[in-house]
Amino acid sequence: MHNHPHSNAGEFLGGFPIWIIVIGFIVLVVLIGIYFHRKRVQSDYLTSEERKKYDGMEIEILRLIRQTGKPMRQSEICDLIPLEPDEIADYLSSLQDKKLIKREWLSDEQVYLVKPI
């Protein structure tokens, strides 16, 4: 004879409801995903793929723009990077072609506004 008045359906491992295990597994997968995303985009605002793919000055300019976190005038970038303005303009044009930044011409100030994408 069975002395159990209820069914064990939906229970697993000594009485833990299966839904608790499923939710725990989902939370674990989400946390692992967050960990690997943060590791991929390290504290210098660049992914490991970007670090391998682009040259040193492109990386420095892109890092500066992303660290600022707001649009910058191209003249501000020229003040912070020790290169000639036409060299910086070439790098910015290249970064724009690669869809890493966006530049908008401010006709009233006669300068580009540079934004990270």
- Note whether 101 and 117 are within 8 A (CB): yes
Q: Where are the domains of the chain?
A: 11-40, 54-116
Query: Does the pLDDT at position 86 exceed 70?
Result: yes
- How high is the mean pLDDT of the chain? 84
* Selection from 88, 83, 59 nearest residue 73 by Cα: 88
Query: Does the pLDDT at position 94 exceed 90?
Result: yes
The stretch 74-88 carries a mean pLDDT of 95
- Note whether 59 and 50 are within 8 A (CB): yes
Q: pTM value?
A: 0.62
User: Domain spanning 54-116 has what CATH number?
Assistant: 1.10.10.10
**Tens digits of per-residue pLDDT, 9-64?**
556 566 778 888 899 899 999 998 877 766 655 566 777 788 888 888 998 999 99
**Stronger pLDDT, 16 or 109, i.e. the higher one:** 109
Query: Does the pLDDT at position 8 exceed 70?
Result: no
Burial of 60 (0-12, 13-18, 19+ CB in 10 A): middle
Q: Strand 101-106 vs strand 11-12: parallel, antiparallel, or unpaired?
A: unpaired
